[in-house]
Amino acid sequence: MENLKHVFEPKSIAVVGVSSDPKKLGSVILSNLIESNYEGKLYPINPKYDEIHGMKCYKSVSEVPEEVELVCISVPAKFVKTVIEDSGKAGAKGAIIITAGFREVGEEGQKLEEEIIETAKNHGIRLLGPNCLGAMVPSNNMNVSFSTANPPEGDVAFISQSGAFCTAILDLAMEQNLGFSHFVSLGNKSDISENELIDYFQNDSKVKVIGGYLEEVLYGQNLLSQLNEVENPKPLIVFKPGKSNEAKAAISSHTGSLAGSIQTYEAAVKQGGIVEAEEIDQMFYLMMGFSWADLPKGKNIGLITNAGGPGIIATDLVVENGLNIAKLSDETKKALREVLPAEASVKNPVDVIGDAPASRYSDSIEIMEKDENVDAILVILTPQRVTQIEETAKLIINTAQLSDKPIFPVFVGGKYVSPGLTRLYDNTVPAFRNLEDAIMVLAKMNKFREYVESDRQEAKKERSALLENLSKGQYSEEVKATLKDNEVVTLPETLVSKIAVEVGIDIPGQIVANSVEEALEFAGDKFPVVMKATTDAIAHKTDVKALYLNIDSEEKLRKAYAELEATIKQATGKDEAQVLLQEQIISKEEIFIGMNRDGGSDVYTKEGQGFGHLMAIGKGGIYTEVYKDMGYALVPSTEEEISEALRSTNVFKVLDGARGLDKLATEAVIKAAQGIQKMAILYPEIISFDLNPLLVTEERAVAVDLKVFVQK
């Protein structure tokens, strides 16, 4: 990770492929570097020239007499390997490859890319790109990209898998004055990946907020375990498109990789405390909010407005976003009463009335800011006849800069409110045109605070303890023996039963009885029981009775045993019969637990791609598909996370004894889910798992139909 400094803080840079045409990419990069006041040494490289754009030009990197730390390459694809080779020999430690025409154009490009990776590795060169816009590092006065704009300096580190997404965010940043420490276009991620960058930024004191547009996250499980390790996590805001199948197809044709399921990603977002953005401007506003404001200490929002309507709209949005309308203290109300006209409402939302001058706004904000019941303030302004737009902005700036509570102005409108907004942005106050955006940002900031304040230390321990058992299943050899190349194989029932016992999953007791006495001994403490024929000779005949339910007394058992024994003997023609007895579970609710592995069986190792096993837990039985009422958790999940996944379902209300129903064995359900998680860790060869139903009674949660599939 340390060696990423060669890319972001190099003491010298060679720009390979500078041309005499100032419009060509190489020249643009060189001039961007100069204009960004880069303080290190700069070497233009082009074999054709001795001098270029007034600077001495070298024929190759190795010809440069001094040390070159970073090379930026924009020569045609076929020449890139030679440049890397040469740079390596000259001792370069980093390369940014702008050039396109690699993996993204097909097989031949892929081969070219692999050769470059190999060459760079041999020389210890770290690669950014290829096929990227470059990197801007305002915190280091370095713009080594062909971007038309250079963002202001700030504390947001931004990475993007799409160059166009970069330019769109950059354009917004130029308009709204958002500053960046790093602005990195990932390109094909041939070497430097999002995981490593995120780790680097988590440890860089110049960075407060990390933002990323990622079309796929290849090493998901690794990213999560990396986030798990961070002691004081910085907000990581991620926008990942590809929810619809249509978009997944588009991503795949764009990046050549497969996008995982949306549920897997959502579970990862939750487990990793990732802040999710769902649109381009959301991404931007989230970075602005996290960068410019402190986190709210709670979810109680104070609203100040000069109009009733927008106050109502904001109220709806606050509630929809899971926040609260703060209950103002009596002291606050009293103080507000003194500064506001008689018609004004001093109840939250506080209506300062349409004729409010700037001072009435600032008086109200100052009073509300002191109220301990208020964690953040939304200041809503509509451009009415006497509204002092710029003056109000000015006074808000004064208060917002001194407060440790987020104070977010929302100036609703267009032309007239623009100068007010500009003034707010110029003074780094997160401001909005739109109630929805402002409240969404507050909600996500608060959720992130909750994540930061959760017992992450304990969760980390729990996860590590779980993964200590990786691949240590008692029956590993037997499971491995079933694997067939790439095929998906169903584990045999007997093996599944043994593993179920190993991981502590409750399954119905059963025996194969050879006599009625054996049957009675088994059934003694288990009534009611079920009795079945085991022989194939009659298992599928519908015209003979081979299944007896609801056997709840010795009398019934003896009668059924005698009948079934006779049936079996007749069917097999043998003089002995084996009868299968099973506990009959009278369930009050049926639960589904399923699991799918994202990635291969090496997903929990350093090299493993994918997010790991996703557990789905929820309503089972015939309504499983009808309601798709599921909570999700990624392995390794803490007990609390599994419990949360279950509690997030509707069927949990039934387990919990909603509306006078009996309370069922929720703890046993969670224990079953933990058993299944353990199974995935002991046997990561398990690719999917389907338990439907888990029968739940007041005391137990019994798995009656486990199906386990494995694949290498």
Contact 496, 706 (CB under 8 A): yes
Q: How many CB atoms lie within 10 A of CB 21?
A: 10
Is the Cβ of residue 263 or residue 382 nearer to a second copy in the bound state?
382
Is the Cβ of residue 345 or residue 398 nearer to a second copy in the bound state?
345
SS3 state of residue 475: coil
Is the Cβ of residue 24 or residue 526 nearer to a second copy in the bound state?
24
CB of 260 to a second copy, least distance (A): 15
**Amino acid in position 596:** N
CB of 27 to a second copy, least distance (A): 12
- Phi/psi of residue 82, each to 5°? -60, -40
The 3-class SS string of 15-81 reads EECCCCCCCCHHHHHHHHHHHCCCCCEEEEECCCCCEECCEECECCHHHCCCCCCEEEECCCHHHHH
CB of 175 to a second copy, least distance (A): 3
Is the Cβ of residue 404 or residue 698 nearer to a second copy in the bound state?
698
Among the listed residues 99, 102, 95, the one whose alpha carbon sits nearest the alpha carbon of residue 125: 95
Is the Cβ of residue 320 or residue 493 nearer to a second copy in the bound state?
320
Q: Which strand ranges, in their side-by-side order, compose the sheet holding 547-551? A: 510-513, 579-583, 529-533, 547-551
Contact 132, 97 (CB under 8 A): yes
Is the Cβ of residue 118 or residue 355 nearer to a second copy in the bound state?
355
CB of 380 to a second copy, least distance (A): 9
Kindly give, in sequence order, each residue whose CB lies less than 8 Å from that of residue 397, ignoring residues fewer than 6 positions away: 423, 424, 427, 429
Contact 680, 635 (CB under 8 A): yes
Is the Cβ of residue 87 or residue 160 nearer to a second copy in the bound state?
160
Q: How many CB atoms lie within 10 A of CB 313?
A: 18
Chain centroid offset of residue 49 CA:
49
CB of 681 to a second copy, least distance (A): 32
The Cα 552–Cα 513 span in angstroms is: 17
CB of 284 to a second copy, least distance (A): 8
Do you find a cis peptide bond into 130, omega within 30 degrees of 0? yes
CB of 430 to a second copy, least distance (A): 15
Is the Cβ of residue 91 or residue 256 nearer to a second copy in the bound state?
256
Is the Cβ of residue 316 or residue 576 nearer to a second copy in the bound state?
316
| Beta-sheet pairing, 706-710 with 686-696 | antiparallel
CB of 650 to a second copy, least distance (A): 5
Among the listed residues 184, 298, 165, 186, the one whose alpha carbon sits nearest the alpha carbon of residue 239: 165
Kindly give, in sequence order, each residue whose CB lies less than 8 Å from that of residue 7, ignoring residues fewer than 6 positions away: 70, 94, 96, 126, 128, 135, 192
Is the Cβ of residue 79 or residue 416 nearer to a second copy in the bound state?
416
CB of 402 to a second copy, least distance (A): 28
Q: How many residues does the chain have?
A: 712
CB of 461 to a second copy, least distance (A): 35
Is the Cβ of residue 106 or residue 504 nearer to a second copy in the bound state?
106
CB of 627 to a second copy, least distance (A): 6
The Cα 378–Cα 398 span in angstroms is: 15
- Phi/psi of residue 631, each to 5°? -110, 155
Contact 119, 154 (CB under 8 A): no
Among the listed residues 108, 107, 129, the one whose alpha carbon sits nearest the alpha carbon of residue 117: 129
Is the Cβ of residue 110 or residue 226 nearer to a second copy in the bound state?
110
Residue in the block written with tokens 């139909």: 705
Kindly give, in sequence order, each residue whose CB lies less than 8 Å from that of residue 245, ignoring residues fewer than 6 positions away: none
Residue in the block written with tokens 């008692």: 474
Is the Cβ of residue 134 or residue 684 nearer to a second copy in the bound state?
134
CB of 162 to a second copy, least distance (A): 3
Residue in the block written with tokens 């000259």: 90
CB of 98 to a second copy, least distance (A): 11
